[in-house]
Chains A and B, each alone.
Chain A
Amino acid sequence: MTAPTGEASVLGAPLDSREDPQLLRGEATYIADIELPGTAHMAILGSEVAHARILSIQTKAAEQMPGVLKVATAADFTDVMPLPCIWIPGGVESHFPPHPYGLPGARPVLTGDTVRHVGDAIAVVVAETPRQAAAALAAITVDYEPLPVVTRADQALAEGAPQLHEAVPGNLNAYWTCGDKERTDAAIAAAEVTVELDLVNQRTINSPIEPRGAVGDYHAATGEYTLYASTQGPHNHRFLLSALVLGIPFNKLRVIAPTVGGSFGTKGYLYPDMALVLLLSKALGRPVKWVDTRTGLMNSTVQGRDHRQHVTLAGTRDGRITAVRCTSHANLGAYPSTIGPGVATALMGRSISGMYQIDAAFCEVYAAFTNTVPLGAQRGSGRAEAAFLMERLVDRYAAEIGMDPAEVRRRNLVPAEKFPYDNGLGWTYDSGNYRENFDKALELAGYADMPARKAEARTRGKRLGVGLATYVAICGVGPSTRMSQEGMLGGTWESANIRVHPTGEVTVTVGSASTGQSHGTVFAQVAAAELGIDPANVQVLEGDTLKAPYGQGTYGSRSYSMAAPAVALTARKIRSKLVRAGAVFLGIPEEKVVYAGGGVHEDGNPENAKTFAELAMAMWYGWGLPPEIEPALDETTHFDPPDFNYPFGSHVAVVEIDELTGETEVVSYTAVDDAGNIGNPKIVLGQIEGSILHGLGQALMEAAEYDTDGRLITADLTGYALPRAADAPFFTLGKTVTPSPHNPLGAKGAGEIATVPPAAAVVNAVVDALSDLGVQHIDMPVTPEKVWRVLAGRTAGTGGTGGTAGTGAAAGTGTEGGPR
């Protein structure tokens, strides 16, 4: 009994999201909407300087401000442990600020001696109202002794650079490698053709529209703490906060995730505020609430990307890639975030060869601390950085050998018969038909018509450019043992519980927690399909550690390929039990029991039957069951897959550059993604569309920019550009389907995968449009100003930079390295 017996129409159907009506009515409860009786309000004082010793903090004036209940500094929390980091680069020596449990340690909940980035939390005020708390912050005086500042990873590793942590000599957290260095170096040395690029994958800010927030509620009578937080992983936060930060028993902390207003990776991290609201609630005997501002978010919530890379590709004159090598300087920010060091190394490095069969590959990452906001995940994290470097290199190589970039790609795609495919960097791709996927994308995009479109655009004063990008995105994190080898300190399995109530309704409870992915809709579809019942009959609960089975949370596009399989397997346990019990109730041998439409009947005798509701009631009563069948229907599964899954895809960007203004407009965008079997195409469509626009944002406008003093000068949405509705046309989307063998649904990650290639596709398109000027590369974001300078340089007769084919990176901008 392995195949679903349910209605084929339920799973894979574009059912309307059941979450939508309450969202459209503004009825969903987000963290800022929670108002417990007696709530006091917390505000956090972040450091105004990027690097300094704190000489003194004067809080007296603040304490006397109206409504102020408490002002606290690090001195108030000496018995609280620092927030730990749980994903370190596997297999190499790492240096961290210490944590008492011997874990890779991290930041204290409040900084007492040395601040290391603007926004580093120094003090908190709790007051009767949010306005009073904010006003009192201004009355706290901090005396700083400034220290030298460094904001770039490569500069932090240079001789004489400012030192951030005593425990981290030279600011080097870890030197991590994957692949075969000797083989790769040899292949590059022996190659007919080599191309190189220096790339800046600029730091970006995820910018969920809902800022983070937390409410702490301590009950003195029971000694129990409740944390409401905008979190992607309530169980994980419970585990980390209780044992490793507060030093309280695991069973004394309950974590509840309300409706979460977007995350894209950032809300799975431990932040000081989560501990502070709990500690202060206990101190004051009242619930304590904190809601961040946008500027606060930008100065304290983890940021993404931020690699400086030197990359090399080797190949033959006839278009066969023989080696790829990457040296990257990754900027971890001021402290190791909860999983940031792993993101910056394994997720990026093991992914660099993408969809290509390459004999020799090697990646080395120098992960460094700097005076910037800690680094974390961002939609497509690691994999987007990898796809960018590889796809830029492939275009560079194609230009060098004078071959169509589509043809170069086609010649190097991993052939369908090679799966499972070991990419030589640590990943074993599960399944795929890359050629089919790639050709479909070219066809949908009308790739053959591009020369005519370029000519037509010229008549309108536009330079049309075409950019291709392919990718493989490791998802389904994942196999716990495998993740332990990557340095993950914690399980990465996922769980589900299904209860069938006596009245025949079903409740599915999962350990993950939605941040906008309509889990309630999709998990109901999975359970309904497996049980053969109406999805309207299935309730889905998540996000409350008191109610849900243990789970690790929503990240890395894992809900449908980790939590949904747990739901499916649990439903199969229920079904299996109903078949065994059905044999008793129907008075027939088990092998004669047919499970269909949620009920059971006798094979060949449909009259002898029990409906789902009848079975549910009978199991509730438990009358007449033999000892080997327990009453009731309540099953749980913890799903730990045998390996990751590997969605992939091919994207085609077409841009038009205005000759006069340098403005780049994305005029069409085609994406063919393969996420295996899909549970609800309407939900996935929205995630794909949003992901692509996020990637276009990095390509065209987004950049977290720090000045030389370490101040984030893009600290609100007037300074940090996010794509708006007019920044892209409708996308042309297609799909291929190659199920993953690593879970019972054949699912692959979907949510963020389409964020992985757009930056590469767009920059490839821009370089294509400017290639006749000798431009070999242009750093992101591709702003009108940068492009205009290239165009103006041409008209001024200075020419584009680059053009020395074969070696050397050439930034079309002529600047030293991008947006900093």
Chain B
Amino acid sequence: MDLTLNVNGLPRQFSAEPSELLVERLRDGLGLTGTKVGCDTGQCGSCVVRLDGSSVKSCLILTAAAAGSEVTTIEGVSGTPDGPLTGLQEALRQEHGTQCGFCTPGMVMALGEFVDRSAATGGEDAPTEPEIREWLTGNLCRCTGYHSVVRGVQRACAAQATARQEG
């Protein structure tokens, strides 16, 4: 079937089998290999992308079901390939919220939505540690124990709140 997806701001037209998964289209069809496949069962979260703003596991959705949607992958997060790191990425860098990095793109995508939501509340209430951990439960990491990731999110939200106060 012929489909259109808007991927990282660009319309992409292609023909796909009905059973094709979105992650297959992104990785194999469009060469966007930043999105990872870790578990095949929707457990690990390495394949998370943003679909019309919401973070979803791209191994659990058919390409056809995403037709016409706006998809953002890790490659689209910084705007341009050599664009600056986002506040979240920068905070994760400062807290060394990575190790092997395989789960990292999925985490950046999932946590990006969390940080956006936090900003949308006006940053009045900094998210609590349990709230961050709860949001992160859809993403598995075997290296870090999540601590540095949680600290990274705390740092990103705090930086956002500070920027808002100063702005």
Residues in chain A within 8 A of chain B (CB atoms): 16-17, 19-30, 32-33, 130, 206-211, 259-264, 293-295, 515-518, 682-683, 685-687, 689-694, 716-718, 722-726, 728-731
Contacts and interface: CB of A to CB of B under 8 A. Distances in A.
A687 B145 CA distance: 8
B164 interface: no
A731 to B, nearest CB: 7
Given A25-B34, A516-B100, A264 B145 contact: no
B144 A17 contact: no
Given A24-B89, A26-B73, A26-B74, A690 B144 contact: yes
A733 to B, nearest CB: 9
Given A25-B85, A690-B143, A693-B146, A293 B40 contact: yes
A656 B129 CA distance: 19
A685 B151 CA distance: 13
Q: Which bracket fits the contact residues of B? A: 35 or more
A122 B79 CA distance: 47
B133 interface: yes
Contact of B96 (A20, A210, A260): A20
B100 A725 contact: no
Nearest to A693: B145
Contact of A16 (B28, B94, B130, B144): B94
B98 to A, nearest CB: 5
A694 B148 contact: no
Contacts of A694: 142, 145
Contact of A690 (B27, B93, B145): B145
A209 B137 contact: no
A259 B100 CA distance: 8
B102 A725 contact: no
User: Which residue of B99, B146, B148 has the most chain A CB atoms within 10 A of its CB atom?
Assistant: B99
B74 A209 contact: no
Contact of B77 (A25, A208, A515): A25
Contacts of B34: 25-27
A726 B145 contact: no
B147 A726 contact: no
Nearest to A722: B140
B72 to A, nearest CB: 12
A209 B141 contact: yes
A295 B40 CA distance: 8
A24 B88 CA distance: 10
B38 A209 contact: yes
Nearest to A29: B33
A221 B102 CA distance: 36
11 contacts: A21-B89, A23-B101, A24-B108, A30-B36, A209-B39, A685-B148, A690-B144, A693-B146, A717-B39, A724-B140, A725-B146
B38 A26 contact: no
Contact of A687 (B99, B101, B133): B99
Nearest to B77: A25
User: Max chain B CB contacts within 10 Å: which of A686, A689, A725?
Assistant: A725
Choose among B40, B129, B143 the residue with the greatest number of A CB atoms under 10 Å from its CB: B143
A21 B145 contact: no
A722 B36 CA distance: 18
A689 B144 contact: yes
Contacts of A23: 98, 101, 104
Given A25-B74, A209-B141, A16 B146 contact: no
Given A725-B137, A725-B150, A686 B40 contact: no
Given A516-B100, A690-B99, A717-B43, 20 more contacts: A17-B98, A23-B104, A25-B75, A25-B89, A26-B36, A26-B105, A26-B108, A210-B38, A262-B102, A293-B40, A294-B40, A686-B143, A686-B148, A693-B146, A716-B40, A717-B41, A717-B44, A718-B41, A724-B136, A731-B147
Interface of B: 27-28, 33-41, 43-44, 46, 73-75, 77-78, 85, 89, 92-94, 96, 98-105, 108, 129-130, 132-134, 136-137, 139-150
Given A209-B102, A209-B141, A716 B41 contact: yes
Determine which residue in B103, B140, B142 has the highest number of CB atoms from chain A within 10 A of its CB, and name it.
B142
A206 B104 CA distance: 18
A731 B134 CA distance: 17
A224 to B, nearest CB: 26
Instruction: Classify the secondary structure of B's interface with A.
Output: loop
A698 to B, nearest CB: 13
Nearest to A295: B40
B20 to A, nearest CB: 9
Contacts of A32: 27, 33, 36-37
Contacts of A687: 99, 143
Contacts of A264: 142
Nearest to B76: A26
Contact of A689 (B108, B134, B140, B145): B145
Query: 3 closest A-B pairs (Cβ-Cβ)?
Result: A26-B34, A516-B100, A23-B101
Contacts of A717: 39, 41, 43-44, 140
A693 B148 CA distance: 13
Nearest to B150: A725
Contact of A211 (B38, B92, B130, B140): B38
B137 to A, nearest CB: 5
A716 B145 contact: no
A730 B103 CA distance: 20
Contacts of A26: 33-36, 73-75, 104-105, 108
A61 B145 CA distance: 47
B143 A516 contact: yes
Contact of A718 (B27, B43, B104): B43
A210 B36 contact: yes
B145 A692 contact: yes
Contact of A261 (B85, B100, B137, B149): B100
A209 to B, nearest CB: 5
Contacts of B101: 19-20, 22-24, 28, 259, 261, 516
B35 to A, nearest CB: 7
A295 B34 CA distance: 22
Nearest to B99: A516
A19 B92 CA distance: 12
A689 B148 contact: yes
Contacts of A724: 136-137, 140, 146
Contacts of B96: 16-17, 20, 518, 682-683, 685-686
B85 A726 contact: no
Nearest to B74: A26
A11 to B, nearest CB: 17
Given A19-B101, A259-B101, A261-B102, A25 B78 contact: yes
B142 A690 contact: yes
Contact of B39 (A33, A294, A517): A294
A294 B39 CA distance: 5
Nearest to B108: A24
Contacts of A20: 92-93, 96, 98, 101
A22 B101 CA distance: 9
Contacts of B33: 26, 29, 32-33
B143 A294 contact: no
Contacts of B73: 26
A67 to B, nearest CB: 13
A691 B147 CA distance: 11
A292 to B, nearest CB: 10
A691 B99 CA distance: 12
Nearest to B98: A23
Given A27-B34, A262-B102, A294-B41, A725 B136 contact: yes
A385 to B, nearest CB: 19
